[in-house]
Every structure is written in C-alpha cells, then in structure tokens.
C-alpha cells in the first residue's frame, strides 16, 4: 500500500513551447505547429502541438522528416528566453499555494501541498485553482495529477492530457496500480518493455506476483525499484533545491562526421565546452564516471560509459573508439558527459573529511 501521508501534485504544461508560440501568434492556432530547428540544416523538433502529433510528428524527430509527414507543418524557431520567462511566471503562481516546489524542467514540476491551508487542504481543489490561474493569466493550459506520492502524481498528470486533471485518492491506489500498464513506470523503455512482455508481465499487478529476488534476477538493480513502484510505493520527498546528477554537451552537425578520425577531431571542442560547464557548478560535485554518445544517420543512438574521475581526453577517445567498434558509420550527433557525485546529498557519516576535501581539490586542479 502506498504512503498516504503526502499530497503531491504533478503539473505538466501542454505542448509548452508550441503553446506559448500559438498564444503569441493567433494565426498559428488550429494549425499543426512545431518548435524546432531548420529542416534544411539538420534541425530537430523540440515539441509540437496535438494537430501535428496527429500526423505522427513528435519531439526529437528530424525537422525534415516532420515536414514529410505533415507538409502543412509550421516550424517555429525556439525562443528559450521567452519560455524561461513564462516558466518563471508559472512558478510564481505555484508559490501562491506552496513553497515546496521541485522543478523538473521549464514546463514541469512537483508540488507538495500536504501542509497547505488553502481550500481546506484539498489537493484536488488546489490543483484545479492553479490550472485556472495559469490559463487565465498566462494563456496556456496545463495538466495536473494528484496522488499520495511523486510516482503516481506523474502518472496521473498524463492520464487526461491535454488540459486535464486526474486524481488518485489513497483508498484507490491499490486497484489503480494493479491495472497500470508496465510501460507507465519511469525507466521501462522499449528494451525493458520487450523483456517484460516476454515474461508475460503486462501490468503492475503482474509484477506484484514476482518476488524481490525474481525481479532482481531479471532486471538487475532496477528490480528493487520495480518491486516498490508496482505496488504504488514511492517515498521520495519533493526536493526544493535540485541537484545535478550529470553534466554533458553534444553537437548536431550540418554534415555527418563520416569516420572515427572525424569523430575524434570533434573531441577537443566538445571537451572544452564540457570543462566550462563543469567549472560553473558549485564546489560540491565530484566526477564519478564518463560517458559518450553518438546518433547515426538513421537516428539510432548508442552510448557507452566508464569509471573515471577526471576529464582526460584519453578517456573520451577510448569511449568513442568503443562506440565505433560497436557500430561503424557516419554520425549526425556526438556528445560527451560526466556522471556526478553530489557531496551535499545525504551520505553515510564521513569518517575521513580531510581525505575527501583533498580528493576534491585534486580533481579540480586537474581540469
């Protein structure tokens, strides 16, 4: 049974970038609209409205492909300064109802209203009120989900999109979760979903029939999380100060990088940007691993990672060589990054604080 001590709202804007553009340009309303890059310069769709989705257009699709699917599609170049301003206005509205806000992106956030004194502490009425405020004051719509925890609230916000509100009361959690398709669990992608289908696991109720050991045997470390989520259990609090888990850079090219030597020539520029981004972080992060990513002409992406605690070019060269060995071919995108260890996150008692500080100084000095 899920914890019922919290009242969590997940708010997700409907087609956020496209919605802002349609609000500001009435001629775009009722037309298929996408926000994205130039289709003649390898641009990619960032988001699109629902009329465009009817034609099969979706985010991360090449703009040129989107136009082939929907010749009437209007592609608007992104204006992130404008989107950030609207996002700030949305969060100003959130703060009328609670100070416990965890942003997930410009257009998505968790709110903990467990202690709110508004609307007699009715999370449902609070969610409806903030939805109305955003529509009236900002001219865009949001969908919201209300539930006893973050996992279920996020599932609920997607239940009646667009412009919907869905509530999962504590008393209905067990029945709701038992029938919930496994694909609704965050982290269950195509590969894991196919593996589950092969095991005849289609709903969370099916997952509940498996023990912790069985889930771990089939899904590794993810098995423990599946055990709890399939029962509607998620004790994560809403975190008002978000901390990073990784830092990365990537570049999409107008012309494909045709071979390994071309990939490696891009490494210096990417690494310079990665170091600059890492340097902007506060002093409480350590590098705990490295990663590289390649997207090919057919939009298939491959990535690999390795243990490492510094941004040495040799490490990333080895990762790119490993990717080339896995699949040889021209790349339209190359990216590199680093996993981070957050020293401000809750940890075991630090028995050797001086050694930890020395390691942090040493790592920073090598960059």
Active site residues: 108
CA separation for the pair 198, 201 (Å, rounded): 7
CA separation for the pair 153, 133 (Å, rounded): 20
Has 107 been labeled as part of a binding site? yes
What are phi and psi for residue 165, nearest 5 degrees? -135, 130
What are phi and psi for residue 320, nearest 5 degrees? -65, -40
DSSP labels for 325-366?
Answer: HH--S-EEEEEEEEEEEETTS--S--S-HHHHHHHHHHHHHH
Beta bridge partners of residue 29, listed in sequence order: none
3-state secondary structure of 286: strand
3-state secondary structure of 153: helix
Q: Largest Cα–Cα distance of the chain, in whole Å?
A: 64
Q: Enter the DSSP assignment of 158.
A: T
User: Do 230 and 177 form a contact (C-beta atoms < 8 A)?
Assistant: yes
User: Do 222 and 214 form a contact (C-beta atoms < 8 A)?
Assistant: no
Has 112 been labeled as part of a binding site? no
- Which sign, positive or negative, has the C-alpha torsion 14, 156, 179, 194? positive
β-strands 74-76, 165-167: how paired? unpaired
CA separation for the pair 29, 11 (Å, rounded): 23
For 238, the token pair is 């809403």
> Tokens 């279920």 label which residue?
152
Tell me the binding residues for Mg(2+): 12, 107
Binding residues: 12, 107
């Amino acid at each position: 049974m899920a914890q019922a001590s919290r009242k969590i709202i997940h708010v997700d804007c409907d087609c956020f970038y496209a919605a802002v553009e349609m609000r500001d340009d009435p001629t775009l309303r009722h037309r298929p609209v996408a926000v994205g890059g130039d289709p003649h310069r390898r641009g990619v769709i960032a988001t699109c409205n629902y009329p465009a989705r009817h034609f099969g257009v979706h985010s991360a699709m090449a703009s040129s492909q989107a136009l082939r699917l929907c010749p009437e599609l209007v592609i608007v170049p992104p204006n992130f300064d404008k989107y950030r301003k609207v996002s700030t206005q949305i969060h100003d509205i959130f703060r009328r109802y609670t100070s416990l806000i965890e942003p997930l992106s410009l257009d998505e956030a968790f709110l903990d209203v467990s202690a709110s004194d508004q609307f007699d502490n009715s999370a449902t009425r609070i969610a409806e009120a903030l939805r109305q405020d955003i529509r009236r004051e900002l001219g865009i719509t949001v969908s919201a989900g209300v539930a006893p925890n973050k996992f279920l609230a996020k599932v609920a916000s997607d239940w009646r999109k667009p412009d919907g509100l869905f509530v999962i009361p504590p008393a209905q959690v067990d029945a709701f979760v038992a029938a919930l398709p496994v694909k609704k669990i965050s982290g269950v992608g195509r590969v894991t979903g196919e593996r589950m289908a092969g095991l005849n696991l289609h709903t969370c109720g099916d997952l509940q029939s498996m023990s912790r050991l069985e889930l771990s045997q089939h899904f590794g470390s993810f098995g423990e999380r599946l055990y709890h989520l399939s029962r509607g259990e998620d004790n994560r609090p809403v975190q008002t100060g978000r901390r990073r888990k990784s830092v990365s850079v990537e570049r999409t090219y107008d012309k494909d990088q045709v071979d390994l030597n071309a990939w490696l020539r891009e490494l210096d520029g990417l690494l310079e940007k990665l170091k600059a981004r890492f340097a902007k972080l506060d002093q409480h992060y350590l590098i705990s691993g490295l990663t590289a990513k390649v997207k090919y002409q057919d939009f298939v992406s491959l990535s690999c990672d390795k243990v490492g605690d510094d941004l040495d070019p040799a490490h990333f060269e080895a990762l790119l060589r490993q990717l080339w060995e896995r699949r040889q071919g021209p790349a339209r995108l190359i990216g590199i990054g680093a996993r981070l260890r957050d020293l401000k996150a809750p940890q075991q008692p630090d028995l050797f604080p001086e050694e930890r500080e020395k390691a942090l100084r040493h790592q920073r000095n090598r960059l």
